[in-house]
Amino acid sequence: MTARRDPRWSPVPWSSAEQAGDETRTEHHAWTIGRVHTGDQLSLTAADLAVRTLGPATVPSPLDGSLLDPRDSVHYVAETDRVLLDDTLDMAVLRGLPTGELPAFEPGGPRSRLFFHPPRTRVGVVTCGGLCPGLNNVIRGLVLEACGHYGVASVIGFRNGYRGLTRAGAADAVELTPATVRGLNDQGGTVLGTSRGGQDPAEMVDTLVARGIDVLFVIGGDGTLRGGQEIADEAARRGLPIAVVGIPKTIDNDIPWIDASFGFQTAFGRAAESIRAAHTEARSTPNGVGLIKLMGRHSGFIAAYASLASEDVDVVLVPEVPIDLDGLLLHLGRVLDRQGHAVVVVAEGTGQELFAGQPRERDASGNLRLGDIGALLRDRITAEARACGRDISLRYVDPGYAIRSVPANPFDSVYCARLAQAAVHAAMAGRTATVVGRWHGRFVHLPIALATASRNQVDPQGDLWLSVLEATGQPVGG
């Protein structure tokens, strides 16, 4: 029996920004996975989920006999077990494979045997890309786990993103110890600094060799992870046993095949507070309109979750659903007639098709700069109200940078600590070109190539968007 394609899992169209060539995916030699949308899960095979290792693990772990417990349970997956990719019976059946051949992730967690000898292992840490709640928590967690439980020789923090791995930037590297990271979990931002844009992989590997680094932890989004893949590939090309392990960071929650990226819950919680404030302003004046622009270049998760959390939103606009501008304005008029005020939440990447033909620059990461959908909606809503003879009071709020710079909330603090522990376990066991994350509640290892081959997006046919439509009462077409 062969697996049949289920039409329910056909990929939905990519957003207009991607069709315009934004963030072109980079190939990584033999470790590249073809571009796959997260709705096309049936196209993935067991081989796509296999992670790279540097070699046999022969060194006894200092955790063996204390923290290690070989028993399987509902709450623990042994290192010899696997975490299934598919979580529904229908999808598993459609593959037409024996149970043991179903695609599955390698579970995260400590191993009884290591690739690296801890007292001789030197560790590097780098943070890249935009700020996100929880960066300092991850740094602290990596240091405490590597030093406290494994007893590695040293942990070096490379400053200002991948610039810190250049010959010039490496001079600013700092040693990280349990004492120096004390209290970091209460601070927003990143103590190591960050930057955007790539660097020469060969030069970065030269720096790792010169510093004697055996393990490099890269904390960042898909661009950062692609950079980590290039470092791992360059090290492999030279035959160097350097482990590169990624901790996925994206405030937009757009990295696929993980339940959520760290900092996301903090971000949408803070965004919900901004929505509530805008709602208070809107309902306090006749024909008040609150317009809130939130982060979300290609994925509208912050807008969707924050709106559901606030319960005060009349319209949610996300990049995955094209805007019917005339229909939106008509609906807003009806809302104002009915209740005397309205609240609109829009993700920053929404409606980029409305800017077609306008010149657009790229940022340091190579991303096309977005057209300002918030300003466009503000002007169009105001103009439509004036044309209809309606006197509105519009408040436009853009809390983006304030949201991403705050400390992690308690949930994300716990998640960051556990991700850091999982990353150290993976690296010490010799995993490389690997990302740690959680899939259906289990910590797992997945190849960087898989994590960067597609993007997690709000499914317009999924239950999350259905919940948004139910909560707001907005027209189905956006």
Distance from chain centroid for Cα 308:
20
Strand 315-317, strand 113-114: pairing: unpaired
Q: What angle do CA 176, 180, 183 make, to 5 degrees?
A: 125
**276: how many CB neighbours lie within 10 A of its CB?**
18
Q: Which residues neighbour 208 within 8 Å (Cβ) at sequence distance 6 or greater? A: 124, 165, 216, 231, 235, 242
Among 32, 48, 42, which Cα is nearest to 8's? 42
Distances (CA, A) of 257 to 44, 49, 122: 11, 10, 30
How many degrees, rounded to 5, is the angle at CA 248 between CA 171 and CA 163?
Answer: 20
Angle at 451 between CA 449 and CA 455, to 5 degrees: 125
Query: Could you tell me which residues come within 8 angstroms of residue 448 by beta carbon, excluding any fewer than 6 positions away?
Result: 28, 31, 225, 226, 228, 229, 232, 244, 246, 433, 434, 435
How far is Cα 144 from Cα 138, in angstroms, rounded to an integer?
10
Q: Is 22 a catalytic residue?
A: no
Q: Which of 233, 252, 312, 412 is catalytic?
A: 252
**CA count, 13 A, side-chain hemisphere, 321:** 27
Euclidean distance between CA atoms 217 and 247, whole angstroms: 7
Dist. CA 204–CA 235, nearest whole Å: 10
Q: E strand or H helix at 442, and its extent? A: strand 442-447
Length of the chain: 478
Q: Name the residue among 217, 283, 255, 278 with its Cα closest to residue 421.
A: 217
User: In terms of Cα–Cα distance, which of 160, 129, 37 is closest to 367?
Assistant: 129
Whether residue 303 contacts residue 345, with contact meaning beta carbons closer than 8 Å, is answered with yes
- Active centre residues (catalytic): 252
